[in-house]
Amino acid sequence: MPGTSKVFTTTSDQLHKQISRGLLISNDACTRKIIEAENYYNLFNGYKWLFLDADYTGPDEQYLTGTKFEEIYALYLFDRELRNLFIRYILEIENNIKSVLAHNFSRKYGHDNYLKVSNFEISVHSGERKTPAQKIGDVSDLIAGLQREIARQLSKNNPMISHYMLEYGYVPLWVLVNTLTLGTISIFYANLKQQDQNDIERFFNLKPDELNSILKVLSIFRNACFTKLWMHR
C-alpha cells in the first residue's frame, strides 16, 4: 500500500509542533526567519537528536527539559563551520596530491600514458591474495574509468578537455586530474608501481603506504562534507 504523502506545512505549524514537544522559543519572529532561511528539515531532523529525552515513552518525541531552539541552531552552525574548515583544507591537500601525482607520472611515462596497463602495478607481491589476472583487471577498471571520465567531460563540452582532444587527440594527465574525484585519485595512486608511490610519498615526507591510508580517509571525509552541504541546500 502506498505511503501517506507529505503535505505542505507552514512555518507556524512547524514551530508549534516543536513547541508541543517541549522546545523553548525565546524570539518567535527570529526563529521563524531562521527556519525559513536554513530549512526546517535540515535544522530539526539533522540536529535535534542530542536534545531529545531518551526516556520519554509517549506517542511523539519530547525534548529534554529546558531545551532551547538556540541550542539546536548553535549546533547546526558549529557543524557547518567545522565542515567548511574541513573542506577548505581537504581541497588544498587534494590539489597538491593531484599536481604531484600528475607531474611524477607524466615525467616518468609521458603525458598520455596513463591509459597503458604496463605503467601500473600488475605483478603480485608476497602476501597479496590477488592473481595476476585480477591485478590487471583492477588496472583495466581504473583505465576504463578514466576513459569514461574523458567521455563525460566531452559530453559536457568541458573547454579544457575538448581543446586537447580536438587539437591533439589526447588529454594530458595534468589536465585530466582536475576533473577526477579524490576517490578516483586514491584508486589511481593505489595502482601505481611501488617505486612510483614511494617517489610521491617522499615529496610529502611520508613513509611507505601512508599516503594510501590518507587518501582513503580524505575521500570519506570529503564525501561526507559535500553530502551534508548538498542536503543543506
- Over 80: is that where the pLDDT of 3 sits? no
- Over 80: is that where the pLDDT of 12 sits? yes
What pLDDT does residue 4 have? 57
What 135-140 contacts at long range (C-beta under 8 Å, 24+ apart), as own/partner pairs, is: 138/191, 139/191
Domain extents in the chain: 11-67, 82-231
What pLDDT does residue 64 have? 96
- Sorted by sequence, the CB contacts under 8 Å of residue 91 that are 6+ apart come out as none
- Over 60: is that where the pLDDT of 8 sits? yes
Q: How confident is the model at residue 2 (pLDDT cuts 50, 70, 90)?
A: low
Write the pLDDT tens digit of every residue in 60-100.
Answer: 899 999 999 999 999 999 999 999 999 999 999 999 999 99
- Sorted by sequence, the CB contacts under 8 Å of residue 189 that are 6+ apart come out as 97, 101, 197, 200, 211, 212, 215
d(CA 198, CA 109): 16
Instruction: Count the neighbouring beta carbons within 10 Å of the beta carbon of residue 72.
Output: 22
Of 112, 109, 117, 106, the C-alpha closest to 143 is 117
- Mean pLDDT in residue range 135-155: 96
Asked if 116 contacts 109 with a C-beta cutoff of 8 angstroms, the reply is: yes
